[in-house]
Structure 1
Amino acid sequence: MYQRDSYKKRDKKYIYKFIKAHPFATFVLKGERLLATHIPVLIEGNEDDFLLYAHIAYNSEQYQYLKDGAEALMIFQGAHGYVSSSWYKDTDISTWDYSAVHVNVTLKLQTNQELEESLEKLVAHFEKDQKNPVFYKDLPKKMLQDHLPLITGFWCEPVKIEAIAKLHQGFEKDDLKSVTKHLQESGDPVNLQLKKDIEKENKMS
């Protein structure tokens, strides 16, 4: 990933929180060609020492290449959006603001018990805030028995982590205010989140 030095994120706490906040990742694995799947990925551990875990379907094209020790890439992406040059006080080049974390990993297949425990955690993570949550153990036993043989779970041990946040660092205050104003006025939910990210990164009050 290309990273201009001023956009690099090296803080472990930032990276850990980013992954937790953006769990829907792109999982890239090398087969006869590069293969990518979009899957929820959870993190276990702490900012200094963590594992990622996920699962894919047996009928996924990636499955045959899913082996202990295989190398893969997990891509986590935050809000992103186009910034028009017409929003600046002086003529400049239009750009795209975004944030992302790339984690190169080695894979280890989960046991059946580890897979079930991972699924329980996965469902609990996303169901806990629902009005009427349906947790993993609430599902019919027969349904689970039929579903489990169709998927495989795996651990991802990080070997290299790169993080970037390109959020108009170093721009004049007037331009920052104009950019965030236009993003706000768009009404688009992604642009609204991008506005918040820009404001937080640039410590705008």
Structure 2
Amino acid sequence: MYIPKAFQETDRDTLFQFIRNHSFALLISTGEDGIPVATHLPIELMPTADGQFQLVGHLAKANPQAKLLARDTPSLAIFSGAHSYISSSWYDHVNVPTWNYLSVQVTGRTNTLTDDETLAFLRQQVDKYEAKSKCSVSVESMTEAYVRKEMRGLVAFTMTIDSLQGVAKLSQNRDDTNYKAIIAELRQTGDPNADALADEMAARRA
């Protein structure tokens, strides 16, 4: 993706943590007809046996995109964070409006998991998202037999991490006066996204 130098996020650990924190992603593959297809789904960052990292997820078997994931399919995963409109009325000088945002994009190749690998992945994924539930469920509480039955309707996949790019467009090119004004205005919008963006900006230029 196009990223002006001022907004590039290059620290690998930071990018990986962003993926963990914003795991609901957009997976894009290209069909045999050359037309891109996309699915919104949770995608997890997980270690491989050799100590590297890969992306792992699953989607419905009825989804046409599922048929594309078993052949080293080139794919793109987009992870998005807080974002908000930035009015140029917030500056102390004439300028144009813009949009601030955080995003990580991963390109790689997908392949499908076996049934046993899928079950192991689902166990970890359910445990992760149920950790804060008051009455949490697990593969064991649903019973393995039931989960395996439900697995017939899905396809789980891995995706290599061939390239990793991050953008943090947070008005880094503004001076301190305008930077603080943007943060203050974002906090007054009443928008949770804008407030999260303000928090991120404040933390980066404390």
Shorter-chain TM-score tier: over 0.9
> Does the alignment pair 1:198 with 2:182?
no
> Does the alignment pair 1:73 with 2:96?
no
Distance in structure 2 (CA, Å) of the matches to 1:182 and 1:5: 25
* AA aligned opposite 2:45: I
What does residue 9 of structure 2 align with? 9
Pairwise CA distance, 1:88? 0.8
- Residues paired across the two proteins, number: 202
What does residue 38 of structure 2 align with? 36
Distance in structure 2 (CA, Å) of the matches to 1:147 and 1:79: 34
Distance in structure 2 (CA, Å) of the matches to 1:106 and 1:141: 29
* AA aligned opposite 2:65: Q
Mapping 1:2-151, distance limit 5 Å: 2-31=2-31, 32=33, 33-45=35-47, 49-141=52-144, 143-151=146-154
The TM-score normalised by the length of structure 1 is 0.94
Spell out, residue by residue over 1:42-94, the C-alpha distance to the aligned partner (whole angstroms, 9 max, x if none).
Answer: 11129x83111001111002022122311100000110010000111111110
| Structure 2 alignment gaps of length 5 or more | none
- Identity, in percent, stands at 27
Distance in structure 2 (CA, Å) of the matches to 1:55 and 1:145: 14
Which has the higher mean CA deviation after the structures are superposed, 96-105 or 62-71? 62-71
Spell out, residue by residue over 1:27-48, the C-alpha distance to the aligned partner (whole angstroms, 9 max, x if none).
Answer: 00001210000000011129x8
| Structure 1 alignment gaps of length 5 or more | none
Distance in structure 1 (CA, Å) of the matches to 2:162 and 2:46: 15
Distance in structure 2 (CA, Å) of the matches to 1:59 and 1:161: 29
Spell out, residue by residue over 1:162-184, the C-alpha distance to the aligned partner (whole angstroms, 9 max, x if none).
Answer: 11110010311121111111111
Spell out, residue by residue over 1:134-193, the C-alpha distance to the aligned partner (whole angstroms, 9 max, x if none).
Answer: 122211556424311000111111111111110010311121111111111112111111
Distance in structure 2 (CA, Å) of the matches to 1:51 and 1:150: 23
CA RMSD of aligned residues (A): 1.5
What does residue 173 of structure 1 align with? 176
Distance in structure 1 (CA, Å) of the matches to 2:56 and 2:76: 13
Distance in structure 2 (CA, Å) of the matches to 1:133 and 1:141: 16
SS at match of 2:188: helix
